[in-house]
């Protein structure tokens, strides 16, 4: 199988280069052979709002997903170090890495302080958060102090602060390199942004992804299984592979939230299928 | 979105032609632009061996799959016309088309006769069946008499008659064009056959597909969610698109058979994702 895979991989690379015109096509002939790429799936903890920690872990194990961000309903903000260790430990025991916390809304300096202490206790690499505009500089200083990244989350047309990724990027582009974006592709599309273009345009600042689908590129669109909606996943995956995205593609499934496993499974399967075909 | 999709589609077509060498590449420049291709999913009725008709329909609706073959545990061989109409009608009411019946094992001429009468009552276009070698000619005559196709199913290394697709093809290649193969890709791989190669080699005789995955290309491999196993789905989908396969890709899910919905959903999602990327 390896030989055929390599063959098609080369063909795909050639196609990409050819599409850019003869100069790029020639350049690709001179480039070193690229490593086999892939994308890592994760789960955004909000998907499990109706489930306790054990049930959430059981679902993740069934889905074969081993990276997660936790919401406060699973890991309360004021948890003791012992409690934090206990909760994170249950995920670790099940083979799941808690890589971030959030989404956390931060409207005061005290909430920023609490968030970074909380993330430090949990030993995570990033906070997925929403600091108010006037707290961005204060948050940047905390990022430097704690060496914990912040990935600011866009929440669609209803979001007064960050409807789409550009609303984040324009405010952080001069900041420390550890201040970035959690690109929510469903909310981005509802806000009129093309997720694949956002990935390319803000490449160095995309730290995390919320993977989902929505019924239409419209404000009132509803959540739907990945692949059944309006998002162009082949284009998105191409963009993520093109920027060598090394973060997680975390599924945030918001349909059938009291019986989400079939839809989560279909969504994870679809995304993996698109990736498999893109790297074949 | 249409413009970008068309762009990448063209790039993919170009890549395919380029891989075949300069003559084929030139030929593709002269070819009329190809229609948008896709593949249709279905469900092999055996997947629902532990469920009644209503539960099976509910699962198919949730999966968004609208084509099915029925096993005798849902539609008994000796059903009256009224009973057949009632069962098929429940699927139709739910938006699901019963396109075939089977897998049906046929060891006597009487069993062949019964199968074609059964298929005629149901108004299906094909029987997925396993006639013994000595009944192949008799079966071919029934195909002509009823104008109902037969898709002979390969069942892996344990199958004394048809372990892999070649065991079928070699015996039917001179027969009426309505005698063909239901290519079970999991059993084919366990029998040492490459499913994508089988699709290309026996293109005109592939009437139906049982889509599944297995843990390894070995006799004792186990069923697993599509995409997690040993089958090269990007290669398979390329082959199916290449031959303009117009049949169904029917999922036969044989893991967790008493709680199959999440695995079915993941499998359907993965297959659709591979197809979406292949036609993008």
Q: Provide, as residue numbers in chain B, all residues whose Cβ is less than 8 Å from the Cβ of A231.
A: none
Percent of chain A's residues with pLDDT above 90 = 87
What pLDDT does residue B246 have? 96
Structure confidence at residue B6 (pLDDT):
37
Report the residue from B8, B268, B274 with minimal CB separation from A276: B274
**pLDDT at site B24:** 37
Phi and psi angles of residue A210, each rounded to the nearest 5 degrees, phi first: -105, 110
In the predicted structure, residue B25 carries a pLDDT above the cut 90: no
* Rounded mean pLDDT, A187-204: 98
Binning pLDDT at 50, 70 and 90, where does residue B235 land? very high
Does the CB of B216 have a partner CB in chain A at under 8 Å?
Answer: no
pLDDT of A207 over the 50 cut: yes
B274 at A interface, C-beta within 8 A: yes
pLDDT band of A35, cuts 50, 70, 90: low
pLDDT tens per residue, range A128-165: 999 999 999 999 999 999 999 999 999 999 999 999 99
For residue A60, is pLDDT > 60? yes
pLDDT at A3 over 80: no
pLDDT digits (tens, 9 = 90+) for B2-12: 333 333 333 33
> Residue B261 above 80 pLDDT?
yes
Q: ipTM, 2 decimals?
A: 0.88
Neighbours of B279 (CB within 10 A): 18
Who among B18, B265, B275 is closest to A266 (CB)? B265
Instruction: Give the gap in angstroms from C-alpha A226 to the nearest C-alpha of chain B.
Output: 8
Q: Are A18 and B14 in contact (CB under 8 A)?
A: yes
The more confidently predicted of residues A37 and B225 is B225
Q: What confidence category does residue B35 fall into, taking pLDDT thresholds of 50, 70 and 90?
A: low
Test the B interface: residue of A63, A264, A273 with most B CBs within 10 Å: A273
What average pLDDT does the segment A189-209 reach?
Answer: 98
Rounded distance between C-alpha atoms, residue B73 and residue B79, angstroms? 11
| Burial class for B18, CB neighbours closer than 10 Å (0-12, 13-18, 19+) | middle
Q: Is the CB of residue B7 less than 8 Å away from at least one CB of chain A?
A: yes
For chain B, the first-to-last Cα distance in angstroms comes to: 11
Nearest to B178 by CA among B234, B127, B113, B239: B127
Strand partners, A151: A128, A180
DSSP string, B62-109: HHT--EEEE-TTTS-TT--HHHHHHHHHHHHHTT-EEEEEEEEEE-SH
Lowest pLDDT segment from A71-85, B11-25, B121-135: B11-25
Please report residues of A whose CB lies closer than 8 A to that of B263: 265
* Residue pLDDT, tens place only, B98-115: 999 999 999 999 999 999
Question: In the predicted model, what is the mean pLDDT of chain B?
Answer: 90
State the pLDDT at residue A14. 33
Res B37: pLDDT: 86
Instruction: Select A5-11+38-279's CATH number: 3.40.50.620, 3.30.420.40, 3.40.1350.10, 3.20.20.150.
Output: 3.20.20.150
pLDDT digits (tens, 9 = 90+) for B167-210: 999 999 999 999 999 999 999 999 999 999 999 999 999 999 99
**Alpha-carbon dihedral angle through residues B68, B73, B74, B75, given to the nearest 10 degrees:** 100
Chain A contact present for B273, CB below 8 A: yes
Chain A nearest C-alpha distance from B269 (Å): 4
pTM confidence score: 0.88
- By CB neighbour count within 10 A (0-12 exposed, 13-18 middle, 19+ buried), where does A161 fall? middle
Task: Please state the three-class secondary structure of B14-31 as a single string.
Answer: HHHHHHCCHHHHHHHHHC
Record: contact A266-B263, CB cut-off 8 A: no
Using CA coordinates, name the residue in chain B closest to A272: B270
Tell me the percentage of chain A whose pLDDT exceeds 70: 87
B9: nearest CA partner in chain A: A15
Instruction: Tell me the nearest-neighbour CA distance from B85 into chain A, angstroms.
Output: 31
Q: What is the pLDDT of residues B262-277, one digit of tens each?
A: 999 999 999 999 999 9
Task: Tell whether A19 is within 8 A of chain B (Cβ).
Answer: yes
Q: pLDDT value at position A44?
A: 98
Note the pLDDT of residue A234: 98
Among B198, B207, B210, residue whose Cα is nearest residue B170: B198
Per residue in B126-164, pLDDT (tens digit) is 999 999 999 999 999 999 999 999 999 999 999 999 999
Percent of chain B predicted with pLDDT > 70:
87
- Put simply, the answer to whether B276 touches A234 (Cβ < 8 Å) is yes
Confidence of residue B90 (pLDDT cuts 50, 70, 90): very high
Task: Report the candidate in A116, A63, A70 with the shortest Cα–Cα distance to residue A90.
Answer: A70
Contact: B277, A272; criterion CB under 8 Å: no
Mean pLDDT of all residues in B233-241: 98
pLDDT digits (tens, 9 = 90+) for B118-128: 999 999 999 99
CB atoms B232 and A1 under 8 Å: yes
* Chain B CA closest to residue A21: B11
Please tell me the predicted confidence (pLDDT) of residue A37.
Answer: 86
Facing residue for A228 by CB, picked from B64, B235, B274: B64
Domains of chain B: which residue ranges? 5-11+38-279
CA angle A117, A123, A129 (to 5 degrees): 60
């Amino acid at each position: 199988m390896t030989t055929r895979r390599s063959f098609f991989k080369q063909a795909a690379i050639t196609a990409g280069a050819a599409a850019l015109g003869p100069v790029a096509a020639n350049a690709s002939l001179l480039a070193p052979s690229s490593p086999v790429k892939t994308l890592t799936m994760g789960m955004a903890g909000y998907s499990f709002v109706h489930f306790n920690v054990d049930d959430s872990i059981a679902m993740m194990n069934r889905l074969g997903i081993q990276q997660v961000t936790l919401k406060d309903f699973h890991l309360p903000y004021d948890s003791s170090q012992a409690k934090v260790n206990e909760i994170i430990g249950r995920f670790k025991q099940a083979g799941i890495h808690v890589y971030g916390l959030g989404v956390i809304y931060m409207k005061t300096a005290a909430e920023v302080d609490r968030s970074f202490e909380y993330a430090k206790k949990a030993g995570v690499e990033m906070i997925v958060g929403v600091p108010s505009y006037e707290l961005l500089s204060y948050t940047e200083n905390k990022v430097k102090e704690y060496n914990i990244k912040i990935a600011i989350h866009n929440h669609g047309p209803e979001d007064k602060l960050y409807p789409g990724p550009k609303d984040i990027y324009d405010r952080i582009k001069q900041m420390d390199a550890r201040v970035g974006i959690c690109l929510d592709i469903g909310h981005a599309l509802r806000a009129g942004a093309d997720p694949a273009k956002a990935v390319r345009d803000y490449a160095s600042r995309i730290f995390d992804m919320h993977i989902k689908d929505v019924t239409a590129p419209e404000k009132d669109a509803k959540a739907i299984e990945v692949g059944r909606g309006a998002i162009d996943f082949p284009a998105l995956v191409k963009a993520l592979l093109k920027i060598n995205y090394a973060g997680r593609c975390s599924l945030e499934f918001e349909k059938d939230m009291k019986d989400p496993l079939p839809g989560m499974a279909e969504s994870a399967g679809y995304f993996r299928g698109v990736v498999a075909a893109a790297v074949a």
